[in-house]
Amino acid sequence: MTSRPPRSATPAAPALAEDSLAHALATAARLIADVVAGGNLTEALAALWSARPATPPGVRGAILDLTYGTLRDYGRQDFILAKLLQKPLPEPVQSLLRVALHRLDSRADTAHTIVDQAVTAAATLLGGKFKGVVNGVLRNALRQSADLNRAADADMVAEFRHPPWWIRRLRSQYPDDWRAILMAGNTHPPMALRINRRRAAVGDVLSAFAAADLPVRELDNGALLLDRPVPVARLPGFAEGLVSVQDAGAQHAARYLDLADGQRVLDACAAPGGKTSHILESADVDLVALDADAFRARRVSENLARLGLSAQVSAADCRKVSQWWDGRPFQRILADVPCSASGVVRRNPDIKWLRRSDDVARFAAQQAEILDALWQVLAPGGKMLYVTCSVFAEENREQIAAFAARHPDCCCLPIGGQPDCQYLPSTEHDGFFYALLEKAV
């Protein structure tokens, strides 16, 4: 009698064509499941591309579009799924449903294909035992779409796609703008460029982009705003260091620092180096760039090398002054401090899943430590520019008010005729806060 091979406890998952929607749905579902479990999306993506280095650009783009789009829709899919399921399904099947619902919302004209491909993707997850459930849930979602969307629009979290504490905080701090801030956080971010004016003239760059059929327009601060985002490989002059990708809101920093040739300048939290390089493009200064993470500090050096710039780059915690300072004071300090990143959430949509309300106070405490440490190394008469990519007052105006109260030798200088500058996220730029502090002589 011929013996049969032993039966596997879990049937082998069918292979998915790499360029199929099913493959993109399944991969995005696994990434989102990792975020739901508390993982960082940037790290998860780095691990994915490291494991699949040959992934074609089009496949990467499809995966990223589904992952980021689903995370920007945080809250809405779970509201709808709660109406269709008695209890959540195991991960990553629950996240597959999230991704599929996002796709159905954005591409309703291809609903049949989306459902079919989601079921195909489900066959590769958890032994395929939830294929039927995925099929039934998505078909019910389509049949009940009008009622489900009506109910979602009446729910605070499902409508604004942010956690309740986030919504309440913004509503309290921005009674006139909170809706616009939340809605901006759910959109695709703009793509802006900075011209390296040591290497290129504005007119030449604009001509090169016109020849490449990449429409751009110059903003008031000199940033170039692309009509549509494109891969950096398509940017004329990028490889040659003529242009860099940098949000238009971030490009105010070098100007607000009030730089002059010959100054000694510290960029205290420098990675990945966008503002560092902008400073060096703007003035001939002696610049020290620090970052607490050695890997991120290497990224600063790599960015400077591409642009033909140089600085003293060190991996060091700026709060531990005795470990890195040589005793020579700085005339200018850029303190682009760690923060909640609430002003750039559309670029990092996993933040909405991962942040908690008490994280804001934790960031504020760290920011205060950084400010107090850096004040020691600022020369009398010198200026420090405090920057966050946050829209929360605890990290911004309240932080600066508390610092000024602790340091009588601090004078808050106006920016553009205002005590400080809070940029809210818009179609042109992300959310940033700037405050300029001068140390008394």
CA-nearest of 195, 277, 272 to 236 is: 195
Identify which of 159, 151, 183, 153 has the alpha carbon closest to the alpha carbon of residue 170: 183
Identify which of 269, 236, 295 has the alpha carbon closest to the alpha carbon of residue 385.
269
Helix, strand or coil for residue 413?
strand
In this structure, the strands spanning 286-291 and 312-315 are parallel
- Both tokens of residue 345? 């959430």
Q: Is residue 216 helix, strand or coil? A: strand
Beta bridge partners of 192: 225
User: At which residue do the structure tokens 């992952």 appear?
Assistant: 67
CB 224 within 8 A of CB 218: yes
**How many whole angstroms separate alpha carbon 332 and alpha carbon 289?**
12
Helix/strand/coil for 316 = coil
Residue type, 335: A
Question: What is d(CA 203, CA 193) in angstroms, rounded to the nearest whole number?
Answer: 14
3-state DSSP assignment of residue 249: coil
The DSSP 8-state label assigned to residue 117 in this structure reads H
Write the burial class of residue 405 (CB in 10 Å: 0-12 exposed, 13-18 middle, 19+ buried): exposed
Per the annotation, the verdict on 318 as an active-site residue is no
- Given the residues 269, 339, 389, 410, the one annotated as active site: 389
CA neighbor of 242 nearest in space, from 270, 202, 211: 202
DSSP string, 176-200: TTHHHHHHHTTSPPP-EEEE-TTT-
On the CB side of 413, CA atoms within 13 Å amount to 15
Angle at 100 between CA 96 and CA 102, to 5 degrees: 120
Task: List residues with catalytic annotation.
Answer: 389
